[in-house]
Amino acid sequence: MPNSLQDIISPLHNYLMALYQKYQSLKEGKVADYIPELGRADTDWFGISIVNTDGQIYQVGDYQQSFTIQSISKPFVYGLALENYGRETVLNRVGLEPTGEAFNSIVLDAKNNRPCNPMVNAGAIATTDLLTGEDSGARLQQILKMFHLYTGRRLDVDIPVFLSEKATGSRNRAIAYLMHNSGMISDRVEETLNIYFQQCSISVTCNDLAMMGATLANKGKNPITGEQAIKSHYVQDVLSLMHTCGMYDFAGEWAYRVGLPAKSGVSGGIVAVVPGKCGIGIFSPLLDAKGNSIRAVKVCEELAKDFGLHLYGAVEPTYDLAFSMQQPYPFLTATSSG
């Protein structure tokens, strides 16, 4: 059902509905069943949401379906660490370079013994370890408060997913203890791991992702509430790392084909940011071999091509994004054939 009268009459909503219908029948990929609770996801779930920097919302499909944020939490917690400690301290713990490896690889920078970037599991665990607070509860609350600023609503941890991640997290424990051995994280290894597992198990919707993306697109200010979720001078740090490292070992091809800062998660979500314009949130749990949602990647590729969203694009777009958002009549009814 449409979310508002604007959704009924907006050209962009018509476009998104056609795009949703085009890829709804795509059944390729598999769910992330190595985390048992994620393996229960319905493969038909599919939602698309766009929020622009004026606070307009466009959404189709299963946009109200909850799922866990997983690795999409990483750039936002990285931004929180930057606010707490500044660039130099964070850089001493976590590097900036893409790895070309899988997101859960047990690999550190050989020169500095630090994780290569904050978007792989090693870097995210190190970033989570930097969170301030007298105990684990206070540190988790800091994360939840931050996401409240980004989304404009209270988010909670999905406890069954958290327990499932904790029970199957041996590889992440190996990564954490390797970093502890090299002095990259503190002595509170198990506490940090528990917070990290909970951080990844926060429940969101694709509309939440779009709102988070729109907040980054809006220089860190939530376009609905007007609250500053992250200091504006750290937004470029977060977006830069999302652009170079956010899509696992598909990051190079993503930058080539889509050309937007983005982050994916193994529950099937992708958040993408069009700086100064909008945030895009997509959810579909069927993943490719690299851990990215197949439908979400297809949708983002088509959006980037049709609306000329690639940051380095020189090709005339098929449609004008601002026109599609603002016009009160359904002029835009056709979609690209792909």
Structure confidence by residue, pLDDT tens digits, 310-324: 999 877 787 777 666
Q: So what's the pLDDT on residue 10?
A: 78
| pLDDT confidence band for 328 (50 / 70 / 90) | very low
User: What pTM was computed for the model?
Assistant: 0.91
Measured at the CA of 279, the angle between CA 273 and CA 282, to 5 degrees, comes to 100
> Coil, helix or strand for 313?
coil
Domain 71-200 listed as CATH 3.40.710.10: yes
Q: Where are the domains of the chain?
A: 5-67+205-326, 71-200
Q: Indicate which residues carry an active-site annotation.
A: 71, 74, 196, 248, 266
Q: In the structure encoding, which two tokens stand for residue 140, read together?
A: 């988790």
Q: What digits encode the pLDDT tens for the residues 36-59?
A: 999 999 999 999 999 999 999 999
Q: CATH fold of 5-67+205-326, please?
A: Beta-lactamase (3.40.710)
Q: In the structure encoding, which two tokens stand for residue 63, read together?
A: 């946009």
- What average pLDDT does the structure give for the chain? 89
- Give the pLDDT mean for 252-260: 94
Region at 248 (left for phi over 0; alpha for psi -120 to 50; beta for the rest): left
What is the 3-state secondary structure of 88-125?
A: HHHHHHCCCCCCCCCCCCCCCCCCCCCCCCCCCHHHHH
Burial 56-94 (b: 16+ CB within 10 A, else e): bbbbbbbbebbbbbbbbbbbbbbbbbbeebeeeebeebb
Cα separations (Å) of 39 from 24, 42, 70, 282?
19, 9, 14, 19
CA distance 314 to 249: 26
Asked if pLDDT for residue 6 goes beyond 80, the answer is no
Q: Which residue has the higher pLDDT, 98 or 72?
A: 72
- Do 5-67+205-326 and 71-200 show the same overall fold? yes
Q: What digits encode the pLDDT tens for the residues 92-109?
A: 999 888 876 666 666 666
What distance lies between CA 139 and its chain's CA centroid?
21
Asked if pLDDT for residue 185 goes beyond 90, the answer is no
Q: What digits encode the pLDDT tens for the residues 188-230?
A: 999 999 999 999 999 999 999 999 999 999 999 999 999 999 9
